[in-house]
Amino acid sequence: MQLLIFTDIDGSLLDFDSYKPGPAVRALEACRRAGVPVILCTSKPSAEVRVLRTILDLDTPYIVENGAAIFFPAGTGVAVAAQQLAESKKWDVSTIEMEDGETFTRLLSGVARAGVVEALGEIAREVGMEVRGISEMTMAEITERTGLPSDQARAATMREFSEPFIVLKGPGDEGRIERTELLELIRPAAERRGLACALGGRFFHLQGRHSKGTAVERAVACYSRAISHSSGSDAVDQKSLLRTMALGDAYNDLEMLAAVDEPVLIRRPDGTHAEGIAFPGLVRTECVGPQGWFEAVMGAFEGEYPSGD
Ligand SMILES: [Mg+2]
């Protein structure tokens, strides 16, 4: 059995405020030794994830902008499988060469950001709320709102497929309105424009009709194909060769958690778990943030893995 781990970044693998991985580094090291891919799955854009991949010393595939695109390091077995699956399923696939020469096979579900930014203005008027998109914010404002170091804050603005935003004033101005309630108001207006809206730890995200969950399903399909090919048999039940786990802390992680065998909801710094996420098999960590990440991942190693083969 091959274990795959999909993980959210902020508030899960990294501390929500300090952006430090803390004890999660030791669990990442255990994954590396055991040959378990840790696949970052985030609302962040590729430029920002690439900074983190270097810091965390990861060379695995990654998923950006809430499922808009999956990047597989070119030439790996799973990248070859992604290319083949994309051709048979008519997925958008291309080869992307980064500035530093690193090459990826990219599966794309996202839509161009310019149209998303334009739609955000229309949706705000329709719902009767005042919003501020990240493209309107200065670097100083982004640094202040996120607490990110300046190089990562700059990378955070290099989006291609989505627009994060905050709501300055809700409809009717009836005092505080819950963020999940706002989401329910925004969603139909987004859907009418062929878009979707997700709720992350800090921002709302307007984007194409994809989610972290749709991307995880595609990535799992690619790994299934790669593994069944390398085991030399197409006849075996491919799903039985994989064990999937996902870790997240916010409402936009719901679809990702629902798409795996072992979903883990990470406790937040205020002691709560994200509201609105509840289904059978969901594990809620005792510990907060990266400490909870460590707890869940090391727990997975104590189970059947890696004895099953
Ligand atoms: Mg998070």
Report the pLDDT value the prediction gives residue 177, as an integer from 0 to 100.
77
C-alpha of residue 117 to centroid of ligand 1, in Å:
23
| Residue 94 and residue 216 share a domain | yes
Residue that is last in its domain, among 189, 207, 225 = 207
| Residue 22 and residue 170 share a domain | no
**Cα separation values, 162 from 21, 157, 286, 293, Å:** 26, 10, 33, 27
- The yes-or-no verdict on residue 241 having pLDDT over 90 is no
C-alpha of residue 44 to centroid of ligand 1, in Å:
10
C-alpha of residue 203 to centroid of ligand 1, in Å:
10
Question: Is 23 among the domain residues?
Answer: yes
Question: Can you tell me the mean pLDDT for 280-289?
Answer: 96
Question: Is 123 among the domain residues?
Answer: yes
What domain range includes position 261?
2-110+211-302
Looking up residue 169, the CATH number of its domain turns out to be 3.30.980.20
C-alpha of residue 229 to centroid of ligand 1, in Å:
34
Residue that is last in its domain, among 179, 207, 235 = 207
**Number of separate domains in the chain:** 2
| Residue 223 and residue 149 share a domain | no
Question: Can you tell me the mean pLDDT for 231-260?
Answer: 84
Question: Is 308 among the domain residues?
Answer: no
For 98-149, write each residue's pLDDT tens digit. 999 999 999 999 999 999 999 999 999 999 999 999 999 999 999 999 999 8
Report the pLDDT value the prediction gives residue 244, as an integer from 0 to 100.
97
- The yes-or-no verdict on residue 25 having pLDDT over 80 is yes
pTM of the model: 0.93
Question: Is 265 among the domain residues?
Answer: yes
| Residue 106 and residue 224 share a domain | yes
C-alpha of residue 13 to centroid of ligand 1, in Å:
8
Question: Is 307 among the domain residues?
Answer: no
| Residue 223 and residue 202 share a domain | no
- The yes-or-no verdict on residue 1 having pLDDT over 90 is no
Report the pLDDT value the prediction gives residue 309, as an integer from 0 to 100.
34
C-alpha of residue 98 to centroid of ligand 1, in Å:
26
| Residue 157 and residue 33 share a domain | no
C-alpha of residue 121 to centroid of ligand 1, in Å:
26
Question: Is 297 among the domain residues?
Answer: yes
State percent of the chain over pLDDT 70.
Answer: 94
| Residue 38 and residue 84 share a domain | yes
C-alpha of residue 252 to centroid of ligand 1, in Å:
8
Closest CA to 148 of 137, 136, 160: 137
- pLDDT greater at residue 308 or residue 160: 160
C-alpha of residue 200 to centroid of ligand 1, in Å:
6
C-alpha of residue 90 to centroid of ligand 1, in Å:
31
- The yes-or-no verdict on residue 170 having pLDDT over 90 is no
Report the pLDDT value the prediction gives residue 245, as an integer from 0 to 100.
97
What is the C-alpha to C-alpha distance for residues 198 and 146, in angstroms, rounded to an integer? Answer: 18
C-alpha of residue 132 to centroid of ligand 1, in Å:
20
| Residue 257 and residue 220 share a domain | yes
Residue that is last in its domain, among 207, 238, 270 = 207
Report the pLDDT value the prediction gives residue 173, as an integer from 0 to 100.
61
| Residue 118 and residue 100 share a domain | no
- The yes-or-no verdict on residue 237 having pLDDT over 60 is no
| Residue 68 and residue 30 share a domain | yes
Provide the 10 A C-beta neighbour count for residue 259: 22
| Residue 242 and residue 187 share a domain | no
Give the largest Cα separation in the chain, rounded: 62
C-alpha of residue 20 to centroid of ligand 1, in Å:
13
Looking up residue 32, the CATH number of its domain turns out to be 3.40.50.1000
| Residue 254 and residue 156 share a domain | no
C-alpha of residue 190 to centroid of ligand 1, in Å:
22
- The yes-or-no verdict on residue 235 having pLDDT over 60 is no
Q: Give residues with Cβ within 8 angstroms of 47, minimum separation 6.
A: 155, 156, 158
Q: Measured at the alpha carbon of residue 116, what is the angle toward residues 114 and 118, in degrees to the nearest 5? A: 70
Question: Is 287 among the domain residues?
Answer: yes
Question: Is 309 among the domain residues?
Answer: no
C-alpha of residue 215 to centroid of ligand 1, in Å:
16
What is the C-alpha to C-alpha distance for residues 308 and 211, in angstroms, rounded to an integer? Answer: 31
Report the pLDDT value the prediction gives residue 233, as an integer from 0 to 100.
59
Question: Can you tell me the mean pLDDT for 14-31?
Answer: 95
Amino acid identity of 211?
Answer: S
C-alpha of residue 71 to centroid of ligand 1, in Å:
20
C-alpha of residue 165 to centroid of ligand 1, in Å:
16
Average pLDDT over the chain, rounded to an integer = 92
